Amino acid sequence: MVTNATLSVDARGLTQRLGRTTILNGVDLQISGGVFGLLGPNGAGKTTLLRTFATVLSPASGDLRLLGYDPRRGAERTAIRRRLGYLPQHLGYYPGFTVFEFVEYFALLKEMPSAAVRPAVARAIERVGLADRAKSKLKTLSGGMLRRVGIAQAIVNDPDLLLLDEPTAGLDPEQRVLFRALLREIGQTGTVIISTHLIEDVAAACNRVALLDGGRIVFRGTPDDLSSFAEGGVGDSALERGYTRVLAGARG
């Protein structure tokens, strides 16, 4: 478990490039415990940042430590991955697998102890409200249900660092409310980082937030801190107004 004294994510001067294009430009971010919201417009670099935290991409430059380990080193990267949960923006899946098999498959790939796998899978499926569809093939599920399957595979190993890219996309309002409660529950014991466009998700579930624009962090603080910039901003809520105001300020 990650204690408050331990940083789950410690990124300093993190840079990521795609060809000659710089996607992340000197990102400094320290995250420890709770639910962390990553906000930003399309193309800001949120997904790239999450993929880097998920060890899919290796940093082009800068320092990065995840759960105290250096993801560039093979053995340490493996240690990170054992304690990691990740839901990509576009969840790929095997249509012929059942819900249980898909979650079990990733539980096994996460090297969970054999005896713990089946109970953990059942619990994860239960937590996302799909217990009654455990034996359904994935190809028979709706988009929202598939999203919940993706969340189930991400949380099956009770990760210390949970990375969720647009997790609520496709969820109906009731499921979104349940999901936020789940995030808060996981945030009690570990670190959750969610990348989202939905300000209300951040307002309801996150205790810390960062705003990314053009590959740089332009704001760091609590949702209340972001709301305090509301004056002069555009939006329906104080948080939205704070968001647009900070973004406008960052762009000069």
CA–centroid distance for 185 within its chain: 15
| Closest approach of other proteins to the CB of residue 59, in Å | 15
Which of 73/82 has CB closer to other proteins?
82
Binding to other proteins by residue 84, rule CB under 8 A?
yes
Q: How many CB atoms lie within 10 A of CB 92?
A: 6
Binding to other proteins by residue 109, rule CB under 8 A?
yes
- Where in 12-51 is the site for other proteins (CB under 8 A)? 51
198: helix, coil or strand? coil
Binding to other proteins by residue 86, rule CB under 8 A?
yes
User: What is the amino acid identity at position 183?
Assistant: L
Binding to other proteins by residue 152, rule CB under 8 A?
no
Is 113 buried (19+), middle (13-18) or exposed (0-12) by CB count in 10 A? Answer: exposed
Which of 54/209 has CB closer to other proteins?
54
Q: Which of 43, 61, 94, 131 binds other proteins (CB under 8 A)?
A: 94
Largest Cα separation within the chain, whole Å, is 56
Binding to other proteins by residue 119, rule CB under 8 A?
no
Token output for 223: 């949702």
Which of 165, 173, 228 is CA-nearest to residue 204? Answer: 173
Residues of this chain that bind other proteins (CB under 8 A)? 51, 54-56, 78-79, 81-82, 84, 86, 88, 90-97, 101, 104-106, 108-111, 114, 117, 153
